[in-house]
Amino acid sequence: EAGVAQSPRYKIIEKRQSVAFWCNPISGHATLYWYQQILGQGPKLLIQFQNNGVVDDSQLPKDRFSAERLKGVDSTLKIQPAKLEDSAVYLCASSLDRGFFFLNTEAFFGQGTRLTVV
Amino acid sequence: DQQVKQNSPSLSVQEGRISILNCDYTNSMFDYFLWYKKYPAEGPTFLISISSIKDKNEDGRFTVFLNKSAKHLSLHIVPSQPGDSAVYFCAASLLYNTDKLIFGTGTRLQVFP
């Protein structure tokens, strides 16, 4: 079974530039997550999709970050304009459905995209 | 406000011995707890979980203990193997929002021969 695919693996941009990350979840997974992991910290949820609808984006800095999941499959996360503090690893995860425990649907993570803003 | 804390950034254990990784949390409403393991350049992988109605869950060499009164959980790995060397994240969620995981900062475990 193919895992969660993310691209690019690495990206270096200057502040105020724009950047986009792409995620292809495991086939058939309805739930998709984007996490931000700053160096020395644990992953922090940015946005959660259920199919092509947003379930939770309470921690997404909406003035500069946007995400979409067209057709309920692939997803893109965009930052415009980037700031130095956006330097982090951006992790995409997917799960069969919502509810880690009720449905025993653990989340599978991709390798992440390491963003460096200079 | 760090609701899930892993106060030991690193741990070094000899192969064959027990590894104990600790995690503390501040929100008494957390109902579910998970441990994820992360190798370099890879995404975290789910390891083991526990519900707040239990105080212990075991899966092979891995056991998680939960002490709700102390708001503390621990992951025991017995016996430790070199392949266990990774960063371990503790995470917690609420009953009514089990999808939203709050992660700790991680503990880097190194198992040496």
| DSSP string computed for A26-85 | -TT--EEEEEEE-TTS--EEEEEEETTEEEE-TTS-TTTEEEE-GGGS-EEEEESS--GG
In which residue are the tokens 């102390």 written?
B70
pLDDT, tens digit, for every residue of B82-106? 999 999 999 998 866 667 889 999 9
Name which of B48, B99, B40 is nearest A33 in CA terms.
Answer: B99
pLDDT score recorded for residue A106: 77
To the nearest whole number, what is the mean pLDDT of chain A? 91
Q: Which of A41, A109, A111 sits opposite B105 (nearest CB)?
A: A41
Q: Which of A45, A98, A102 sits opposite B101 (nearest CB)?
A: A45
Q: What are the residues of chain A with a beta carbon less than 8 Å away from any beta carbon of chain B?
A: 4, 31, 33, 40-45, 48, 55-56, 91, 93, 95, 98-102, 106-112
Chain A residue closest in CA terms to B101: A45
Interface test with B, best of A29, A60, A106, A114 (most B CBs within 10 A): A106
φ and ψ of A106, to 5 deg: -70, 155
- In the DSSP assignment, the letter for residue A86 is G
In which residue are the tokens 């025993």 written?
A104
Domain ranges (residues) in chain B? 4-112
Q: Which residues of A touch B45 (CB under 8 A)?
A: 108-109
- In the DSSP assignment, the letter for residue A1 is -
φ and ψ of A71, to 5 deg: 60, 10
> Which of A76-90, B12-26, B33-47, B66-80 is predicted with the least confidence, judged by mean pLDDT?
B33-47
List % helix, strand, coil for chain A (3-state, nearest 5): 5, 45, 50
Name which of B61, B67, B81, B84 is nearest B22 in CA terms.
Answer: B67
Tokens read off for B51: 């519900």
pLDDT band at B25 (very low <50, low <70, confident <90, very high): very high
pLDDT score recorded for residue A103: 52
Tell me how long chain B is.
113
Q: Which of A48, A102, A111 sits opposite B43 (nearest CB)?
A: A111
B23, β-bridge pairs: B73
Interface test with A, best of B3, B33, B46, B99 (most A CBs within 10 A): B99
Instruction: Check: CB of residue B66 under 8 Å from CB of residue B33.
Output: yes
The H-assigned helical ranges of B9-86 are: none
Size of interface A-B (CB pairs under 8 A): 60
Please indicate whether, in this complex, the C-beta atoms of B43 and A4 are within 8 angstroms of each other.
yes
Domains, chain A, in order of start with CATH, read 5-108 (2.60.40.10)
pLDDT, tens digit, for every residue of A25-68? 999 999 999 999 999 899 999 999 999 899 999 999 999 999 99
CATH number of B4-112: 2.60.40.10
Q: Distances from the Cα of B106 to the Cαs of A91, A104, B102, in angstroms?
A: 16, 23, 12
Instruction: Check: CB of residue B73 under 8 Å from CB of residue A8.
Output: no
Please indicate whether, in this complex, the C-beta atoms of B99 and A4 are within 8 angstroms of each other.
no
Please indicate whether, in this complex, the C-beta atoms of A48 and B99 are within 8 angstroms of each other.
yes
